[in-house]
Amino acid sequence: MNFLKQNARWLIATAFLYFCSCFGQTFFISLFAGEIRLTFDLSHGDWGFIYSGGTLASAIAMLIFGGYIDKYKITLNIKIVIISLSLLCLSMTFINIVWLLPFIIFGLRFFGQGMLIHIPAVAIGKWYGKNKGKALSISIMGFSLGEAIFPVIFVSLFAIIGWRNSWIIGMIILLLILPVILYLLSNERTPNSKQENMTNQLGMSHKHWTRKEVLKNWVFWAVIVPFLIPPIFSTAFFFNMVHLTEVKNWSLISFTALFPFYTGMSILTTLSSGWILDRFGVEKILPFYLIPMALGLLIFSYSNTYINAMYGLACLGMTQGLAMTIGGTFWPTYYGTKNLGSVRSLSTSTMVFGTAIGPAVVGKLLDLHINYDIILFGMFVIAIVASISLAITMARAPKLLPQNKI
């Protein structure tokens, strides 16, 4: 409780940032997929190509601009990002030219999924030492809240005000939250807190790594490919959830009503994983975090019932909860905090790149009339192989850490 009281303003501010990121996340944009495809007469492959192109461009932009958080005040970064995202939400209300769509998708993905995940994760990594897992698990509740409430709210809004006008609600929410965040961060937390032992912030080989050094390190390449699995598969799954409901003979409103099971499990896992990561270390958890997702994909590939859909979503939510805290803990632990913004931008841009791959590949497979259940089963197999790879890597990598981190 002392931790919560002493850090309430910063934890609430970062939770709001994660909440605001929802407007650029696949689970939110995909709610509009059916209407967008109908409005612009797009096939699954066409829409997947546009979405992936915009997302890929945002991944490249993250490499360029992700390090700015190391150079400029966090509040300046936040102002630019949230105002830009609100204007992009507004643009979705009147766009009627298809070639403008990739540019808007790029902006939504870059400012929403990219920067509004990157900024709080980097800030927490810099602000907290041994309690970074706990701080992340609390802050990420903002994202989980958005996942829980937005699907049902906005699908319901479609019927009342239409899909275009629903984006205005998103813009209003962002502009209302921005001044609250700025107020909470008017007294910015510094790493020199009495509650943190910041000597723990050196990475492997007792140093702070630069981006160039990270790119030459074998640990980075060994973990980054498995780290791609959740963004690729989650994005592909939720991006095509309208198609999923069609082939399973489910209604979209009934399926989105099951999202609280996904979010609830994500919240439970996030809260518990923060404590577990601080207690046992990220290397003990990393080899197992893809297993629930693999099980969830297997369930969806074989089942057509709502009850099993609930179990499948819960499994996907478990990996989602683990992925958010594991990523935020791994990078400062293994590569230090001095250059965390530029180092973590590698991870963020790669994650965003992964979300570009999923819709494009699955959209193309669907256009080729590949059975969606077969696609989901293939994802299951890949997730199991990636888990084995992580287990091998984490048997070696911890030996390179300073002794006080093991």
Domain that holds residue 310: 7-405
Q: How many domains does the chain have?
A: 1
Q: What is the pLDDT of residue 199?
A: 46
Residue 318 has pLDDT above 80, yes or no: yes
User: The domain that contains 83 carries what CATH number?
Assistant: 1.20.1250.20
- Is 178 domain-assigned? yes
- Is 197 domain-assigned? yes
Contact 213, 336 (CB under 8 A): no
**pLDDT by residue (tens digit) across 322-375?**
887 887 788 888 888 777 777 777 877 887 777 778 877 888 888 888 899 999
Return the structure tokens found at 220.
């980075």
- Rounded to whole angstroms, the Cα distance separating 43 from 249 reads 20
- Rounded to whole angstroms, the Cα distance separating 249 from 30 reads 18
Helix axes 132-139, 306-335, angle to 10 degrees: 140
Which of 264, 391, 385 minimizes the C-alpha distance to 320? Answer: 264
Contact 300, 376 (CB under 8 A): yes
- Is 1 domain-assigned? no
- Is 96 domain-assigned? yes
Determine the residue type at 70.
Answer: D
Q: Confidence band (pLDDT; 50, 70, 90) for 403?
A: low
Residue 24 has pLDDT above 80, yes or no: yes
Q: Confidence band (pLDDT; 50, 70, 90) for 198?
A: very low
- Rounded to whole angstroms, the Cα distance separating 347 from 345 reads 5
Q: What is the pLDDT of residue 39?
A: 87
Prediction pTM value: 0.73
Give, rounded to a whole angstrom, the gap between the first and last alpha carbons of the chain: 26
Q: What is the pLDDT of residue 6?
A: 78
- Is 163 domain-assigned? yes
Q: What is the pLDDT of residue 147?
A: 81
Token pair 């709502």 in the structure block, residue: 306
- Is 2 domain-assigned? no
Task: Identify the weakest region by mean pLDDT among 64-68, 265-269, 293-297.
Answer: 64-68
**pLDDT by residue (tens digit) across 59-83?**
888 888 877 777 778 888 999 999 9
What's the whole-number mean pLDDT along residues 283-300? 92
Q: What is the pLDDT of residue 397?
A: 73
What's the whole-number mean pLDDT along residues 240-253? 85
- Is 126 domain-assigned? yes
Residue 200 has pLDDT above 70, yes or no: no
